[in-house]
Amino acid sequence: QDHVCSLPKVPFRGAPCSDAAGTQVPYSTIMKQVNSSLSGVLWDELQKAPFYEYKDSDGQLHQVWFDDPHSISLKAAYVKNRGLRGIGMWNGNSLDYSRETVAEQQTQAMWQALTP
């Protein structure tokens, strides 16, 4: 089916990663890779999250799910509109804190998105 990615069944390895079949990728890598991906940015309306698909050098299809300023802002607005006490996130260390202009812009946009 279109955009359905099957993961192999693997034993649970415990916190912090309950999905032992996946790996975490830095946001800067995602932003570079998405532009040359097979699909470009796709949007899942149910999850309110972007993802993309690419093939590796062996021809294996991969699917990468991530948050961007738009998806983060939707989640922050959801929390605010319902009077909830806060929002959690997976790993802010995956942002690029170097002094490169693009990295600074991407990181600033992600943190600003937390304030609806």
Q: Is residue 20 part of a domain?
A: no
Segment 39-62 mean pLDDT: 91
> Taking a C-beta distance cutoff of 8 angstroms, is the pair 67, 9 a contact?
no
Q: Is residue 7 part of a domain?
A: no
Place 67 in a pLDDT band, splitting at 50, 70 and 90. very high
Alpha-carbon torsion (63, 65, 66, 71), positive or negative = positive
Domain count, the chain: 1
Segment 89-110 mean pLDDT: 88
Q: Please give the residue range of the domain that contains residue 42.
A: 27-114
Q: Is residue 2 part of a domain?
A: no
Instruction: Round to whole Å and give the CA distance between 112 and 67.
Output: 13
Q: Is residue 95 part of a domain?
A: yes
Q: Is residue 3 part of a domain?
A: no
- Check whether 110 has a pLDDT greater than 70: yes
Record the tokens describing residue 98, joined without a space. 């170097």
